[in-house]
Amino acid sequence: MIGYLVRRLGGAVLVLFGLSLLLYGLFYLAPSDPAILTCGKGCTPERLAEVRHAMGVDESIWAQYQHFLTGLVAGRDYSSGTLTRHCPAPCLGYSFETDQPVTKLLLDRLPVSASLAFGAEVLSLVAGIGAGLLAGLRRYRWLDRIVNGLVLAGYAVPVFLVGLLLLLLFCVQLQWLPFPTYVPLTTDPLAWAQNLLLPWVALAVIQTAAYARLTRAGIQETLAEDHIRTARAYGLPESRIVWRRALRGALLPLVTLTAIDLAAIMTSAVLTETMFGLPGVGQLLVGAVNQIDLPVVVGVTLLTGLLIVAANAIADLLYAAVDPRVELR
Amino acid sequence: MGAAIAVFMILVAATAPLLAAVAGQDYTTYHDNLLDSARGGVPLGGLGGISSEHWLGVEPGTGRDLFARVVYGAQVSLGVAVGATVLEVLIGLLVGTAAGLGGRWADAILTRFVDLVLALPILVIAISLLAIVPQDWPRPLLLATVIAVLGWGGTARITRGETLTLRTRDYVAAARLSGAGWFRIARREILPGLTAPVLTYAALLLPTNMIVEAGLSFLGVGVRTPTPSWGQMLSTATTWFRADPMYVLIPGGLLFLTLLSFVLVANGLRRALDPRQSEVLR
């Protein structure tokens, strides 16, 4: 178990290492110079050299990457002219664009993305398991058909298309909801949920389809197993068989999937955030990419990479915890 | 049904220049005279300016013919998705068979590598990558390559699994005993057995890649104007959808229809090629 965790951790560090190196290499090779953008119009060569130095892009790629790693582990000092700032570990540098520490930018925006991902996950779990259960029990033939159709359709809609249609319907045509703006949960929980409702639905559609499909298959498989037949033979009421036994077996695979999906949702939230104009991590990335804001891009990518790697590890552990047949190697 | 729509869309994409010529329009000409400048450039007339000349109306803000843009957009969307899928299958087959046949060490290293690729936050990296590359590179080609380079992990994993089972078959042992080299075995004995599972998987990859392309173009790192793509149209539509809902509904509806048809085809293919799974997924 401990050996497994250590190996897993090693693998995670390696992935993040590779990811950051890849980004640094690409930005270094890229023909666009972030210093020119920062310096602006009418920039003299001397001023440009100064800016380059202050941003640290006048060094070789290895020196830059080395400094980055040092900052991440131990923190580092930035000096521009006479002013020296200390950036404590884990230091991801300062944004070229806004001059704020990247760590702060990420932490400011994380609650938005987390709210979005968490709500969408809950919504899709409830809707997906419900639909899958209804279809799997095959009480009503037509219901099975409808769920099936919706599952297939759910695979075929991009998030932003659902988002646009929802906005069109609920905000423009019916005017039931306001255009989403982010309200922190701590300020006003009701407004928080009301504003995030449409983004949640948009984001949940695809996951719901996947969950419905899994639950349905799982229910049918479990209901065909021997222990269910035994329970029926004992004369247990059907509702008890379904709730206590069949559902349990059917939901096993969902446990691990949820952990992985939560991280996956965070990354696909890039589209949803841009679509609805929510100030989350994804929106930060899109903005930073257009401004060639290297520290921010690296920060966001590492954060999402970290989330995915962590989610995968948690999923494996959960799987071993709920299913005693699985052994961790 | 699904297959019919899919074939129709592929035909539309393939004959885009012809269709645009039949309609007598092209996708770059601005028609300022068809826009209502008092309302900020919304098309004149109902339903987004649909008329006998402009079959699907015109684009708000520019007045470019929507029919021409939609059919050329089909070309870009489908072309990128098909290109990316083909590339992914090629890389996946190569790495997967190498891992399956290469012995313990090769397998261990390659499997680790595949795990790493599968763990990448694809969308996030693709955005960063596409933003860095110079603007004058051919965007559709670039998009297909980036999507493929980040997305071949699944194919490789499936190929490896299948190869590991196939290599224990008697006919593979017979081939090896008769002195066939590894390359020959991979090509003549293993590859035919891989066709069904890889084809089924690739059929599902195609709509997924289309969604990724549309998403990247939606975020503004995909194809650039004047080249049209459905995702990019929807991106512009975010600023116009209040005034001109048709501009959302036309490219959006087509995108949905095309994706749905491909998903249906993939589903049918799986049922036909893998009777064991169809029991569960029916």
A271 contacts in chain B (CB < 8 Å): 123, 215, 218-219
pLDDT value of position A308: 80
* Of A15, A30, A217, Cβ closest to residue B281: A217
Quote the minimal CA–CA distance from A312 to chain B in Å.
Answer: 8
A275 contacts in chain B (CB < 8 Å): 218, 238
* Last-in-domain residue among A33, A61, A91: A91
Quote the minimal CA–CA distance from A74 to chain B in Å.
Answer: 26
Query: Do both A238 and A271 map to the same domain?
Result: yes
Residue ranges, chain A, pLDDT below 70: 1, 28-42, 56-57, 79-83, 89, 138-140, 323-329
Q: Which of A151, A164, A307 to probe by mutation at the B interface, max B CB count within 10 Å?
A: A164
For residue B84, give the nearest of B216, B218, B253, B261 by alpha carbon. Answer: B216
Residue carrying structure tokens 């999507």: B147
* Cα-based distances in Å from B194 to B187, B199, B241: 10, 8, 46
pLDDT value of position A274: 85
pLDDT value of position B277: 52
Separation CA A132–CA A211 (nearest Å): 7
Query: Do both A39 and A174 map to the same domain?
Result: no
Query: Do both A243 and A161 map to the same domain?
Result: yes
Any idea what the CATH number is for the domain that residue A221 is in? 1.10.3720.10
Smallest CA–CA distance from B207 into chain A, residue: A156
pLDDT value of position A140: 67
Query: Do both A81 and A212 map to the same domain?
Result: no
Poorest-confidence range of A249-258, A303-312, B171-180, B189-198?
A249-258
Could A289 and B128 be called an inter-chain contact, meaning their C-beta atoms sit closer than 8 Å? yes
Which residues face B36 on adjacent strands?
B42
Query: Do both A62 and A200 map to the same domain?
Result: no
**Complex ipTM:** 0.76
User: Whole domain around residue A294: which residue ranges?
Assistant: 105-322
Quote the minimal CA–CA distance from B129 to chain A in Å.
Answer: 8
pLDDT value of position A130: 87
Q: Regarding predicted confidence, which is higher, B6 or B47?
A: B6
Is residue A4 in some structural domain? Answer: no
Sign of the torsion angle spanned by Cα atoms B56, B59, B62, B67: negative
* Last-in-domain residue among A69, A91, A113: A91
Query: Do both A40 and A181 map to the same domain?
Result: no
pLDDT value of position A32: 62
Read off the pLDDT of residues A99-151 as tens digits, 9 standing for 90 and up: 788 888 888 888 888 888 888 889 989 998 888 888 877 666 777 777 778 77
Q: For chain A, what is the domain count?
A: 2
- Residues 6 or more apart in contact with residue A320 via CB below 8 angstroms: A326, A327, A328
Is residue A11 in some structural domain? Answer: no
B126 contacts in chain A (CB < 8 Å): none
Smallest CA–CA distance from B244 into chain A, residue: A168
Average pLDDT value for residue range B132-147: 81
Dihedral pair phi/psi, residue A78, rounded to 5°: -110, 130
Query: Do both A144 and A247 map to the same domain?
Result: yes
A217 contacts in chain B (CB < 8 Å): 280-281
Is residue A7 in some structural domain? Answer: no
Query: Do both A159 and A37 map to the same domain?
Result: no
B262 contacts in chain A (CB < 8 Å): 156
Is residue A327 in some structural domain? Answer: no
What CA dihedral angle connects A44, A47, A52 and A56, to 10 degrees? 180
B214 contacts in chain A (CB < 8 Å): 158, 160
Q: Which of A19, A213, A289, A308 to probe by mutation at the B interface, max B CB count within 10 Å?
A: A289
A213 contacts in chain B (CB < 8 Å): 281
* Of B120, B125, B241, Cβ closest to residue A168: B241
Quote the minimal CA–CA distance from A119 to chain B in Å.
Answer: 20
Is residue A97 in some structural domain? Answer: no
Separation CA B48–CA B167 (nearest Å): 59
Is residue A96 in some structural domain? Answer: no
Query: Do both A32 and A125 map to the same domain?
Result: no
Query: Do both A55 and A173 map to the same domain?
Result: no
**Which chain B residues have any C-beta within 8 angstroms of a chain A C-beta?**
112, 115-116, 119-125, 127-129, 131-134, 207, 211, 214-215, 218-221, 231, 234-235, 237-238, 241-242, 245, 248, 252, 255-256, 259-260, 262-264, 267, 280-281
Quote the minimal CA–CA distance from B186 to chain A in Å.
Answer: 30
Query: Do both A180 and A156 map to the same domain?
Result: yes
Is residue A164 in some structural domain? Answer: yes
Separation CA A269–CA B84 (nearest Å): 23
Is residue A6 in some structural domain? Answer: no
- Please determine, for residue B87, whether its predicted confidence score (pLDDT) is greater than 90: yes
Query: Do both A69 and A117 map to the same domain?
Result: no
- Please determine, for residue B90, whether its predicted confidence score (pLDDT) is greater than 90: yes
A86-100, B49-63, B250-264 — most confident range:
B250-264
* Last-in-domain residue among A65, A91, A117: A91
* Of B248, B260, B281, Cβ closest to residue A164: B248
